[in-house]
Structure 1
Amino acid sequence: MYCFALVAVIAAIAGGLRMGSHGHLKQKEAFLVIFAGLWFSSALFAFFAVEIVHGVEHLWNWYRKGKAKTSSVAAPTAGAVAGTSGSAEVSAPYHSIGERLADPSRRYFFRAASVLAGAAPFAGAVYGFAAERLNYHVRRIEIPIANLPPAIDGMKIAQISDIHMSAFMSRAAVRRAVDMTNELGSDLTVVTGDLITGAHDPIAECVEEVSRLHAPLGVWGCNGNHEIYADAEELAEELFAQHGMKMLRQENAVLEYRGAKFNLIGVDYQRERNLNGHRTQMLSNLEPLIHRDMPNILLSHNPNSFDRAAELGVELSLAGHTHGGQIQVEILDHRLTPARFISDYIAGLFERPMFMPSRKVMVQAEPDAPAGVPSQNASRLYVNRGLGTVGAPVRLGVPPEISLIVLRRA
């Protein structure tokens, strides 16, 4: 029976992988993939959690056993004290080490800890899938921009990213996010990549919903890595154009707000390594698109391009890609998330000096901007936490985000 269940889970997960690269699953298949994926990932985390508890219990017993042995060697017998080891007055011998370690309260504690450790991943997965995954949050943040004209001070940019419309992100869910974005009354709206997850996900339906976005300065976008995986970069550009939007692909547009101009630049997903595994120069063709006489705003799905953007003198970069890690656990004031493995720029606002190649001066400027980076000469990056999910359809500690960015003079 267990082997049959394991085979079913593997088959369902394989179906999920197929969905990401070859096809769009039907509703029943999608439900099976969701259930199998949640069960598999939760069971894996539960196993490790229980083993950690067992390891702590073994260490505790080992410590107590060593302490008990030391005590038994050091303690004199009753006969030795009385000098009559064979007399009737001799006290009963000490209990064995095993008997002294058999503390019912301690056994109950570790048993309860094991049960809780095993159940927590399942409870967290259910909550992350059923509740937090669709609990859209609006984050409003004011970002000081170097060289910002007074007329543009206060301009509002709405940003959504990483929609990933698929079996795990319905059209109705995208529509709700679009409605929430429109309610913000932004002057400019941007979509920073990953409209879909796989090759046959409904990109046309996604763009139809995105086209309901409206802003006086228009709706602009850039491609993400999943458009590359789905071979849909050109299609996304065409669909955007059909609906009166613009997908910027290694190009720029000079926009005007209250009589002042700024330069909006967009690039396709920036790879850090080529197909041979060698490091590549990110934003290699960006310099001709930069205007030195006005602020530059870059749409780049991959936040790791920020180092090069700052070096080139781009005042503000807007990115996504990381999903904020999707799962984040805070332990002793340290935030643990899988996104740490792919980027230093996980979520929120970052800054570093412009025209400087060193990464060591990068600081996270949210929520408390640390001193040391002169704001008037800083390049800034904002990383949106995204709307959708990839892999496990779960969010824990990282709710989906709609950003409202307010530009301020540095």
Structure 2
Amino acid sequence: MKHLPKVLFLLVVVFAGFTFATQNTTDDLEIVTHELKGVVSAPVRVVQISDVHLKRDELDPLTVRVAKEVKDLTPDIIVATGDMVNYPTSLRALNRFLDLLPKNVPLIAVTGNWEQSNLDSKNMEKLEKLYAIYGDTLLENGWKTVEAWGVKVALCGVRYKIEVDELSALISNAPKAELTILLSHRPDTVDLLKEADRAKVDLVLSGHTHGGQFRPYGITVVPQYIGYKRLSGFFTGAPPLYVNKGVGTTTMPVRLGVPPEIAVFDFLP
């Protein structure tokens, strides 16, 4: 029995190594396509990226691949649902990333908790200007209307933290469009929509959760997400919500059982 602790420790090490070898999905980029019919008069493709979490001033191979894949998907609109950068020094990497994306395709972005926490007002202004250089738009509780194939698409982008009345005021001023999409880094923003406003939004796109990031064998191990019902994927309701698993990582540079994701939404007549 005196060797039992050593045996248990060895078993834990072996199991941890096996888990990392078989469940490590950090670089296993997935492209997930969804068709939504009966919403528009002509086909419109929206590509969503989220939680890229650029940390340094250079791009890693996965991020370069993400940009290439987005370009190859020939989107009509690109949306980025927050946490694109972690620090002020990450803005240089974002500049390189945006330069790799397709030109003349509008990108609409919102901020996440990392931008809100780590970028002061001066760097937030730099972030907004950086998007603008590429003809893109950073929305902080605002609207942007884009036309694709004759279809007017209204996109509302909200800050990471928004109050019920703020959101209601935004939705009540929605521009006329065939398709209305709400962009919010935090999935729970959908709960803030007043009953009268829900029918005005066709789809809510969010991120934030990384799909749990550590879910070996389908088991959620991150305490804050144990029991959380909106880790990733589609959630029906009025309006429907999609939670993107994101691309990058936080805390540890590893994903277990939760691959990075690019989400494609094909809106069809």
- Matching of residue 159 in structure 1 with residue 44 in structure 2: no
**Displacement after TM superposition at 1:112 (Å):** 6.4
Q: Decide which of 248, 257, 260 is 1:388's aligned counterpart.
A: 248
* Cα shift at 1:395: 0.3
C-alpha separation in 2, matches of 1:192 and 1:224: 7
Question: Structure 1 residues 289 and 120, CA, compared in 2 at 3 Å: closer, same or farther?
Answer: farther
Equivalent position of 2:173 in the other structure = 289
Q: Which has the higher contact order (CA 8 A, sep 6+)?
A: 2
Residue deviations 1:228-282 (CA, integer Å, cap 9, x gap): 111243221111012221112211122222223221111121258xxxxxxx767
Alignment pair present for 1:220 and 2:220? no
Give, in whole Å, the separation in 2 of the partners of 1:300 and 1:349. 15
2:234 corresponds in structure 1 to 349
Of 191, 203, 206, 1:319 maps to 206
**CA distance change for structure 1 residues 222 and 293 in 2, over 3 Å: closer, same or farther?**
closer
Separation (CA, whole Å) in 1 of partners of 2:27 and 2:227:
24
Is the CA contact (8 Å cut-off) linking 1:347 and 1:383 kept in structure 2? yes
Kindly indicate whether residue 123 of structure 2 is the aligned counterpart of residue 236 of structure 1. Answer: no
Deviates most, 251-260 or 389-398:
251-260
Amino acid of the structure 2 residue aligned with 1:209: F
Residue equivalent to 1:202: 90
| Number of residue pairs aligned between Structure 1 and Structure 2 | 262
Sort the Cα spacing of 1:345 and 1:168 in 2 relative to 1 into closer, same or farther, 3 A.
farther
Which residue matches 1:259? 150
The answer to whether the 8 Å contact 1:156/1:188 transfers is yes
Q: Is the CA contact 1:265–1:289 (under 8 Å) kept in the aligned structure 2? A: no
Alpha-carbon offset, residue 144 of structure 1: 4.6
Aligned partners of 1:251 and 1:289 also within 8 Å: no
Instruction: Name the larger-Rg structure.
Output: 1
Give the drift of 1:210.
Answer: 2.1
Q: What do you get for the CA RMSD once the two structures are aligned?
A: 3.1
2:35 counterpart residue number: 142
Q: Is the 8 A contact 1:187 1:215 kept in 2?
A: no
Q: In the alignment, what sits opposite 1:183?
A: 72
Q: Deviations over 1:258-315 (max 9, x none)?
A: 223221111121258xxxxxxx767354223324663210111111111234742211
2:268 is aligned with 1:268: no
TM-score by length of 1: 0.57
1:289/1:112 CA distance change after superposition, 3 Å: farther
Tell me if the contact between 2:54 and 2:86 (Cα under 8 Å) persists in the aligned partners.
yes
Q: Distance in 1 between matches of 2:162 and 2:221?
A: 22
- Measure the CA separation in 1 of the matches of 2:180 and 2:44: 14
- Letter matched to residue 157 of structure 1: V
The one-letter code of the counterpart of 2:124 is E
* Distance verdict in 2 for CA 1:218–1:310, change over 3 Å: farther
- Structure 1 segments unaligned to the other structure (5+ residues): 1-101, 273-279, 354-378
Unaligned stretches of 5+ residues in structure 2: none
1:94-133 aligned at under 5 Å gives the runs 115-125=10-20, 132-133=25-26
In 2 relative to 1, CA 351–211 (structure 1 residues): closer, same or farther, beyond 3 Å? farther
Distance 1:125 1:404, change over 3 A: same
SS in 1 for 2:258: coil
C-alpha separation in 2, matches of 1:111 and 1:342: 33
Q: Which amino acid aligns with 2:15?
A: A
1:342 and 1:244, CA in 2 relative to 1: closer, same or farther beyond 3 A? farther
Residue 15 of structure 2 aligns to a residue in which SS?
A: helix
Q: Deviations over 1:58-103 (max 9, x none)?
A: xxxxxxxxxxxxxxxxxxxxxxxxxxxxxxxxxxxxxxxxxxxx9x
Equivalent residue letter for 1:115: L
Structure having the higher strand fraction is: 2
Deviation (angstroms), 1:380: 1.1
Residue 20 of structure 1 aligns with which residue? none
Q: 1:203 to 1:216 in 2, by over 3 A?
A: closer
2:89 is paired with a residue whose SS is coil
